[in-house]
Amino acid sequence: MSDVFSNEAPDSAVRLAIERVKAEQSVSDLEGLELGTVIVNMGPQHPSTHGVLRLVVTLDGEVIRDVIPVIGYLHRCKEKLAERRTYFQYIPIPDRTEYVAGMNCEWGYVLTVEKLAGIPVTRRAEFIRVIMAELNRIASHLVAIGTFVADLAPLGTAMAFYTFRDRERILDLLEAASGARMMFNYFRFGGVRYDLPDGWVEKCREFLDYFPPKIVEYENLVNDNAIFLQRTLGKGVLTQEDVKEYAITGPNARASGVKHDLRRTRPYSVYPELDFEIPVGTHGDVYDRYQVRIAEMRESVKIVRQALDMLPKGPVQLGTLRPPYVITPPPGACYTAQENPRGEYGTYIVSDGSRYPYRLKYRDPCFVNLQVFPKLLKGVKIADAIAISGSMDLVLGGIDR
């Protein structure tokens, strides 16, 4: 007997799930389904899907047979908006794609426009950009790790309390420099908006001395916990083949052993002058993804220290008083990408010589990483599925744009 507990007609994703079940079992209608097959909706409002992600899950008891991700619940028309805002007016908008890593996303947009228009960046601003981006990388990984561990345990927000405490310190630094806690609107073409305030460098160094023992604290919290290890070791393995086929980038790819980091493979800004390692994992499971993020935080601390030491004096933006407000890049198209905490975040901009971009397309890492979910979650229990999706670190703002 088929029971549908819903007042609405099934939408296209649920219909697709039903079709697939029918095809697999070659039954002509749902009457003949074997007992235990349930098609369930996870989301778009769900405590564990980070953001408004909807997973239409076909379950066989507790084991997932098929997953159809449905996105678009946060589609905010950013690509169309680009055609109605000038290049300068558009700068705050990429912030709101991957909203936990705003500085990196702004950089991804600003890099492309600077390349299209041939705008050079001042040297001091390059170092400030690196510092801000790496601090934001640490903040983003703190959110990722905190919410990931919070997903694993019923009220396991203990880890999240610690990571968010340290994230607040980073946000204080970023707020002192840019004026906002999350949506920074700090990058400009040719530099950054404000120079670092007096005493900022000292405060930043204080934070860099304070932080590495905290990473040890996080590791002490969970790394030896038997339940954590049971839930994360060997789960959700992404092979190197998967990484290649599905174009997965970022810590998810590096956990599988692929040393793909745009700061080294496609260097931009002053990263070639900085000395840091690319942490890689070996097995590509949930535990490795968590470990890679922890290691990346340590590397980011190293990078910020070096950048602070090498920070030259000079202007932080082109032009004497004002940043260039009206930019008309020559006609052409360009794609550049930068290493977001989640992977390769790039923008492909087509310009027709006017003040408005002709076409802006985001290459968002989470959008691409989400495609591997049906393969990754097949045959997995629901509890493990939550752990796996938490470890993939999705931010729906980027997926839906």
Q: Are strands 332-340 and 191-192 parallel, antiparallel or unpaired?
A: unpaired
> Please, which residue, 11 or 209, has the CB nearer to other proteins?
11
Q: Which of 138, 143, 286, 301 binds other proteins (CB under 8 A)?
A: 143
Q: CA-CA distance, 329 to 270, in Å (whole number)? A: 24
Which range in 38-46, 123-131, 189-197, 310-318 contacts other proteins by CB under 8 A?
A: 38-46
Q: Which of 38, 59, 208, 247 binds other proteins (CB under 8 A)?
A: 247
- Please report, as a single letter, which amino acid is at residue 52: V
Contacts with other proteins by CB under 8 A: the residue count is: 80
Q: Which of 72, 179, 212, 314 binds other proteins (CB under 8 A)?
A: 72
Dig out the tokens for 185 from the structure: 């609107």
**Is the preceding omega at residue 251 within 30 degrees of 0, hence cis?**
no
Nearest to 334 by CA among 355, 352, 308, 311: 352
Site for other proteins in 160-179 (CB under 8 A): 160-161, 164-165, 167-168
Site for other proteins in 73-92 (CB under 8 A): 73-81, 84, 92
Q: CA-CA distance, 61 to 283, in Å (whole number)? A: 28
Site for other proteins in 334-393 (CB under 8 A): 335, 344, 346, 348, 350, 358-359, 361, 363, 367-368, 370-371
> Please, which residue, 183 or 318, has the CB nearer to other proteins?
183
Per rule CB under 8 A, is residue 11 in the interface with other proteins? yes
Q: Which of 129, 137, 188, 260 binds other proteins (CB under 8 A)?
A: 260
Place of tokens 């993020």: 293
Burial of 112 (0-12, 13-18, 19+ CB in 10 A): buried
Q: Which of 240, 272, 273, 354 binds other proteins (CB under 8 A)?
A: 240
> Please, which residue, 152 or 370, has the CB nearer to other proteins?
370
Burial of 378 (0-12, 13-18, 19+ CB in 10 A): middle
Q: Which of 33, 63, 96, 328 binds other proteins (CB under 8 A)?
A: 96
Dig out the tokens for 153 from the structure: 């345990």
Site for other proteins in 275-334 (CB under 8 A): 333
> Please, which residue, 317 or 362, has the CB nearer to other proteins?
362
> Please, which residue, 124 or 184, has the CB nearer to other proteins?
184
Q: What is the DSSP code string of 28-73?
A: SSGGGPPTTEEEEEE-SS-SSSSSS-EEEEEEETTEEEEEEEE--T
Per rule CB under 8 A, is residue 18 in the interface with other proteins? yes
